[in-house]
């Protein structure tokens, strides 16, 4: 478990308060807009920034404890750090950049050079210099160098921020593979909803130096409280689904979630594959009775759980659909006109085309098996074997 409970005050009035626990396997996203304090948190974990108060621990190792006078030096923390820009040595080949990471390794090795090269798909780049690589290739090499230092924790500071959309789409499958195959704990800084939904298991949402929500990604990214972070456009509900059926004739797929099914544009995933579907709350319409003779494909029966007035003319209506929650953004006028109230039965209408496979369907992270992943705690040697990507 990664435990962070810190206070940092900086000249000029910025202050950070963060207290959260993250799993010791998988990706925890530090999510928020610029200036929220995301990078400051991972700099504190790395030892680059010294908190004014608090405690940071990874597993049984205490990195920092102000009350006890503990402040491990950077090299003793064994963290890998991947920046927005790759920061490779320009005069060294890709292989020598990677070997530099090997030379910095501390502790028992858990991943081998060849396994890293295969996992990140960079064997054909080994003889080249950084200036000949694309932005995505440079980031893959930077990740490999960080892994070969045998870290107990990987810190990634918006590693895709400097890439265009095409390069991002190229590198995301490698990040999924990194998540699934190494089982390292990863703190991943991002302001991108798409990256958070695709990669993370846990989310810590921040705004102006304060935590506003933390927990499993589906729950946090569906909360109206994160509106200051995502904006009204991206507020919505996340369903963890599996692919149930494909209908090639109409280029549609059926996704099954815990309490129903969704028809969506054709998903390029096999039957049974886990996917994460994001339904923007602004794409959900409500009806008092089951609609008939409408073009909307997805009709879900639910009960109003809560109604929250938001800024402007909008209200958030949370429905309970079986055991799942679904959020709809409607006008406050509609709430009054339909006399909506908690406990009322409603029908939610979601267009199939609103669940756009280009931007809102992602491979869901595999559940971590107990005892798997990351640097071994028992002193044994564990080498990640290359195998096919799950993305």
- Do residues 264 and 358 make contact, with C-beta atoms less than 8 angstroms apart? no
For 2-229, give the CATH class.
alpha beta
Length in residues, the chain: 391
Mapping DSSP to helix (H, G, I), strand (E, B) and coil, where does residue 3 land? strand
Indicate the domain borders of the chain.
2-229, 235-363
178 burial class (0-12, 13-18, 19+ CB within 10 angstroms)? buried
Output the pTM of the full model: 0.81
Q: What tens digit of pLDDT does each residue of 318-373 get?
A: 999 988 889 999 999 999 999 999 999 999 999 998 886 544 566 666 543 333 33
- Do residues 41 and 49 make contact, with C-beta atoms less than 8 angstroms apart? no
| Per-residue pLDDT at 365 | 65
Q: In terms of Cα–Cα distance, which of 238, 363, 244, 349 is closest to 290?
A: 349
Residue 312, number of CB atoms within 10 A of its CB:
9
Over its length of 391 residues, how does the chain's per-residue pLDDT go in tens digits? 899 999 999 888 889 999 999 998 899 999 999 889 999 999 999 999 999 999 999 999 999 999 999 999 998 999 999 998 889 999 999 999 999 988 888 767 788 999 999 999 999 999 999 999 998 999 999 999 999 999 999 999 999 988 888 888 888 888 988 888 888 899 999 998 888 988 998 999 999 999 999 999 888 888 878 877 887 767 888 888 999 999 999 999 999 998 899 999 998 889 998 888 889 899 999 999 999 999 999 999 999 999 988 888 999 999 999 888 899 999 999 999 999 999 999 999 999 988 865 445 666 665 433 333 344 333 332 333 323 333 3
| Per-residue pLDDT at 164 | 86
Q: What does the alpha-carbon distance between residue 54 and residue 385 come to, in Å, rounded to a whole number?
A: 39
| Per-residue pLDDT at 240 | 87
Q: In terms of Cα–Cα distance, which of 301, 307, 302, 304 is closest to 329?
A: 307
| Per-residue pLDDT at 366 | 56
- Do residues 81 and 146 make contact, with C-beta atoms less than 8 angstroms apart? yes
CATH architecture of 235-363: Beta Barrel (2.40)
């Amino acid at each position: 478990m990664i435990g962070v409970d810190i206070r940092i005050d900086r000249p000029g009035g910025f202050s950070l308060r963060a207290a959260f626990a993250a799993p010791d396997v998988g990706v925890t996203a530090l999510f928020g807009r610029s200036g929220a304090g995301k990078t400051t948190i991972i700099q504190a974990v790395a030892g680059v920034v010294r908190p004014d108060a608090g405690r940071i621990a990874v597993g049984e190792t205490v990195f920092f404890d102000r009350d006890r006078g503990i402040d491990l030096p950077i090299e003793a923390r064994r963290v890998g750090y991947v920046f927005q820009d790759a920061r490779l040595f320009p005069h060294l080949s890709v292989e020598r950049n990677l070997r530099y990471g090997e030379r910095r390794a501390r502790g028992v090795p858990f991943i081998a050079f060849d396994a890293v090269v295969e996992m990140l798909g960079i064997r054909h780049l080994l003889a080249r210099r950084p200036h000949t690589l694309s932005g995505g290739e440079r980031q893959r090499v930077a990740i490999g160098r960080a892994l070969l230092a045998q870290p107990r924790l990987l810190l990634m500071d918006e590693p895709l921020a400097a890439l265009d959309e095409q390069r991002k789409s190229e590198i995301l499958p490698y990040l999924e593979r990194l998540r699934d195959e190494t089982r390292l704990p990863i703190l991943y800084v991002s302001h991108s909803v798409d990256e958070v939904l695709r990669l993370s298991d846990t989310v810590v949402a921040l705004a102006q130096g304060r935590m506003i929500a933390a927990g499993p990604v589906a729950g946090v990214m569906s909360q109206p409280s994160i509106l200051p972070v995502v904006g009204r456009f991206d507020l919505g509900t996340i369903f963890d689904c599996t692919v149930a059926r494909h209908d090639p004739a109409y280029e549609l797929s059926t996704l099954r979630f815990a309490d129903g099914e969704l028809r969506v544009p054709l998903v390029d995933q096999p039957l049974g594959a886990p996917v994460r579907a994001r339904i923007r709350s602004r794409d959900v319409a409500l009806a008092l009775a089951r609609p008939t003779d409408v073009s909307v494909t997805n009709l879900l029966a639910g009960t109003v759980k809560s109604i929250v007035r938001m800024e402007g003319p909008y209200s958030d209506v949370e429905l309970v659909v079986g055991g799942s929650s679904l959020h709809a953004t409607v006008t406050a006028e509609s709430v009054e006109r339909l006399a909506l109230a908690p406990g009322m039965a409603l029908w939610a209408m979601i267009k199939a085309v609103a669940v756009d496979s280009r931007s809102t369907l992602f491979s869901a992270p595999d559940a971590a098996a107990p005892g798997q992943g990351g640097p071994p705690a028992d002193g044994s040697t564990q080498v990640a074997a290359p195998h096919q990507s799950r993305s």
